[in-house]
Amino acid sequence: MPVSPFQSFENGFPPWDCFDPFSSSPHQSPKPDGSSSGSDKSIQSDQNPDNSNSNSGSDDPNPQVSVIDERKRRRMISNRESARRSRMRKQKHVENLRNQVNQLRIENRELTNRLRFVLYHSHGVRTDYDRLQSEYSTLRKKLSDMSQFLMTRQLQQLTSEWPCNNMITTSTEQVAPSLITS
């Protein structure tokens, strides 16, 4: 049966969270099996607790392992703190994005309302413009007709004063009534 290099993770917890204070070997390091950190000597001394370092004069039989364990513990604490700061930064960033989304939604709603207002009034202005344009065309035509009528009238008066053109006057009088009726 093959041995898993991650035996300590079988219960779902990393080995440092599963350290049993009541284990039979009090100096056993809470390191995962197959760890590549540290030296081979520290792994051998970790597996064999009776092997002590000859350079040590302290009570701890494995001071090198203790130093490595302390470094790992500090690194683990530092990594947890760094992860916590990273989560806080991410949470602030997400909160800022939510606030920005809310502000943009409010601004969008205001702009939409302003656009509706402008479109409503522009429709009214366009209707007024079309009505005035039609009225302008009608008045222009009436002015043109009246101008033509007045010119015809003046022409009649001028021709009536000339005795030799009585014949032209009669033809002009027949044209003038048709202009008046329109």
- Answer whether residue 15 shows pLDDT above 70: no
- The dihedral through the CA atoms of 45, 51, 57, 60 has a sign that is positive
Structure tokens at 135: 């009225």
- Answer whether residue 109 shows pLDDT above 80: yes
Tell me the C-alpha distance between 91 and 172, whole Å: 95
Q: How far is CA 135 from CA 43, 66, 132, 181, in A?
A: 103, 101, 5, 20
Q: What is the pLDDT of residue 33?
A: 47
Alpha helices in the chain (DSSP H): 40-47, 63-161, 166-181
Q: Which residue did the predictor score with more confidence, 111 or 59? A: 111
Structure tokens at 74: 């500090």
**Local confidence band at 156 (pLDDT 50, 70, 90 cut-offs):** confident
Q: What percent of the chain has pLDDT over 70?
A: 54
Quote the DSSP letter at residue 28: -
pTM over the 0.75 mark? no
Tell me the C-alpha distance between 126 and 122, whole Å: 6
Determine how many CB atoms are found less than 10 A away from the CB of residue 8: 20
Contact 13, 49 (CB under 8 A): no
